[in-house]
Structure 1
Amino acid sequence: MKKNGQIAEEALLRDVADIPYRPSAGAPPGIEVLSLADLTARAHGRRADLHRPGRPAFHQLVALRAGTVRCSIDFTTHALAPGDWLWVRPGQVVQFLTPLDRTDGRLIVFPAGFLSGTTDALTGAAGHSRCRRVTPPAGEAAPLDRLLDALVDEYGRLSDLPLAAHIEALRHLLSALLLRFAQVEGSLSPDGAHSEPFRRFREAVEQDFARTHRVEDYAARLGYSARTLTRATRAAAGCGAKRFIDDRVLLEAKRLLVHTALPPAAIGERTGFTHPTAFSAFFRQHTGTTPTAFRELVAGAAARGAGPPAPRRS
C-alpha cells in the first residue's frame, strides 16, 4: 500500500496537460465570462480534471466574491479569500486544489491576441509575469468591481449590438479592467512598455530559449546590438537580457522537474544544455540546489500541504 507522500509525489510527476482555447458554443469570439461553478460544470462536461496540473494556452482572470479557493500556479500555492483577484497568464501551470462549485466568483477567459497591442504592452499580458494573489485596497476595489460588473453586463447583451461592435465593447471594457488590475498588481509598466526591441526579443526568447541562451545570438537574429537588447530589457522587465533568458530557461526546467518524470539529463537537453553537468551547474547557480533535490523538496512540500521553498536568486 502506498503512503500519502508517495501518492502526492506521483501526482506531481504526471505530465502537464496542454489546454487549448476552446470557446463555448454561443460565446462571442475571443472572450468568455463565467462563474467558477460554471467552470466546474464545463470541466465535468468535457471530462477535464481541474485538479490535475494543466498549461492553458489562454489568460484567466479570477475575481472571488465568496468562499475560498486554493490553487497552485507555477509551484506557488495561492489561497484566495473574498475580494481577492488572480491573473494567470498563458503557459503557466495551473492546478486547483479545492472545489470551485462552492464559491461565488467570476472567471474571465481570453486568448493571447484579444487585447490591443498597447494594453498587452502596458499590462505585461504577453510576458511571463509572476502570478500572485492581489487584494485590492479599499480605494481600488470599488473601481475594479464596477468595471467587472460592466463587463459581465455587456457580456450578457449579445443581441443588443452587432457582433463586431459587441466584441469591441468587451475588448475595451476588459482593457480598462486589466489596466486597473495591473496598477494594483504592480505589473503596469509604461516605461519601456512600447519598446520594439524588447517586444521582439521577448517573442524570440519564447521561441528559442531551448535552442540558445546567448544574448548575442538573439541580437544577431533581430538586427540589434546586445547592448540595445540589454538596455531595452532592463527598462521593460527590470533585468538584463541575459537574466531574462536565464529566468525563462529556469522556469521551464522547474516545470518539467515538478510536473513530469523525466530525468534531469533529459530536462537539461530539452532546455538547451548539451551536457547534464552544465544543466546541473546552471540550476544550482540560480536556485542553490540540484535539480533532483528541487524535485524532492517540491514533492515533499506537496505531501505536507505546503508550498515549495523560496528559490535563491543569483
Structure 2
Amino acid sequence: MKKNGQPSIGGTAATAHRTEDPAATGIPTVSYRPTPGRPPGLEVLDLPGLAARALVQGRPLTEPARPAFHLVIAVRGGRLSCSVDFDSYCAVQGDWLWVWPGQVLRFPDSLGECDATVLAFPTGFPSAATDILIRHAEYAPHRLVTPDSARQRTLLSLLAALVEEHTGLGDLTLEAYIETLRDLLSVILIRLVHLTAPRRQIQAGGEPFQRFRRAVEEGFERTHRVEDYATALGYSSRTLTRATRAALGCGAKRYIDDRVLLEAKRLLVHTSLAPAVISARIGFAYPTVFSAFFRQHTGLTPTEFRSLARA
C-alpha cells in the first residue's frame, strides 16, 4: 500500500453559482445524480469525465466535499494523487481506491496523465446480500488496495465485463440490464473487501447495531448520549453496547465519541469555521466542553490540531 477530492456525479445541469466560500460554511455533500436518459444505479466514467461533471456542477475536484455515494477507482496507468479524510494516497497502475459515502475527498490541482476507470454508485444499488458481505470494509483503515498479479487479472476481467455490459443498454430488458450490472459490481466489491481484510471478521452486530449506526449518523450533531439513541430505537443501552461491541469491538459510547471526533477533525481541516462554531455544529453546548473533549481524545486543542494538520 502506498500512502504518501471531490467528484460530483451529475448530468448536464447548468453550472452552479456560488456566492460563499465553501470553506467558511462547511463541507458540501454531493448527491448521486445519474446521467440523463440512463437507468440510475451505476455510472462508469474515466477521470476526464469525472472532472468535467464536477465542473458542470460548479464544484471542481480540487475542492473538498463528501460524495453521498461510493467511488471505486481502478488505476490502469500513470499516477493518481488524492486525499480521503486525513490520509493522502498516491495510486499507481494496479491500485484500486475505494471511497465510501460521507468521506471527505479531494484531488490535487491536476489529475496528471492517469488512466483510470471510475465506478460511482449509491449505497442501495448492490444487493442486500452484498451489502452484508462488504459492510465491515466501511470500518477498515485502508482504502487503497494493490492486488497481486493473479487477482489483478481477475479484477480487470470483471471490470472489462462490467464496462462492456454498461455500454450495451439496448441488448437486454431494463430489469435484466440492471441486474447484470448489479451482479458484476457485487463480485468486484466482494473481491476488493477480501483483499482489504481477508482474515478480519467484523460481525454485523445484527439489526440493533445497524439501526444504531444509522441513528448516530443522523443524530450525532444533536446528542452524544447512548440513552437517547436507546430510547429512540426501543432498545436498552446495554443492548446497544453489546451490539456495537460485537460489530466493532468497542462500546456504544465510544462509537458515538469516535463519530463526533471524526466530524470535528473534518471541519477543522477542511473548513475555516471557528472552533466555537464547529462546537455548536456537532452538538456541544459550550466551546469549552468541546475543547476538553477534543483534548481528551487527541492530546491537542482544536486550534493546535488544525495548525498541525495544515502544516
Matched, 1:90 2:101: yes
Aligned to 1:174: 185
SS at match of 1:97: coil
Deviating above 6 A after TM superposition, structure 1's stretches of 4 or more consecutive aligned residues are: 10-14
Q: Distance in 1 between matches of 2:86 and 2:136?
A: 20
Matched, 1:239 2:254: no
Q: RMSD over aligned Cα, in angstroms?
A: 2.3
2:142/2:196 contact within 8 Å kept: no
Give CA-to-partner distance per residue, 1:20-50, whole Å, 9 cap, x none: 2121123321110111122123334444311
Q: 2:76 aligns with which of 37, 54, 65?
A: 65
Q: Distance in 2 between matches of 1:106 and 1:57?
A: 19
SS at match of 1:115: coil
1:37/1:104 contact within 8 Å kept: no
Which is worse superposed, 227-236 or 67-76? 227-236
Alpha-carbon shift at residue 193 of structure 1 (Å): 2.1
Provide closer, same or farther for how the CA distance between residues 143 and 194 of structure 1 changes in structure 2, counting only shifts above 3 A: farther
The percentage of aligned residue pairs carrying the same residue is 54
TM-score computed with the length of structure 2 as normaliser: 0.86
Greater length-normalized contact order (CA 8 Å, ≥ 6 residues apart)? 1
**Which amino acid in 2 is paired with 1:291?**
P
2:136/2:204 contact within 8 Å kept: no
Q: Distance in 2 between matches of 1:78 and 1:222?
A: 38
Alpha-carbon shift at residue 267 of structure 1 (Å): 0.9
Aligned to 2:13: none
Matched, 1:30 2:41: yes
Provide closer, same or farther for how the CA distance between residues 70 and 98 of structure 1 changes in structure 2, counting only shifts above 3 A: farther
Matched, 1:114 2:130: no
Q: Distance in 1 between matches of 2:49 and 2:35?
A: 12
Q: 1:270 aligns with which of 250, 268, 281?
A: 281
SS at match of 2:171: coil
Structure 2 regions of 5+ residues with no counterpart?
A: 1-20
Provide closer, same or farther for how the CA distance between residues 187 and 296 of structure 1 changes in structure 2, counting only shifts above 3 A: farther
Matched, 1:286 2:302: no
Q: How does 1:1-314 map to 2 (within 5 A)?
A: 15-100=26-111, 102-124=113-135, 127=138, 130=141, 132-186=143-197, 191-193=202-204, 195-300=206-311
2:294/2:301 contact within 8 Å kept: yes
Provide closer, same or farther for how the CA distance between residues 244 and 62 of structure 1 changes in structure 2, counting only shifts above 3 A: same
Provide closer, same or farther for how the CA distance between residues 294 and 12 of structure 1 changes in structure 2, counting only shifts above 3 A: farther
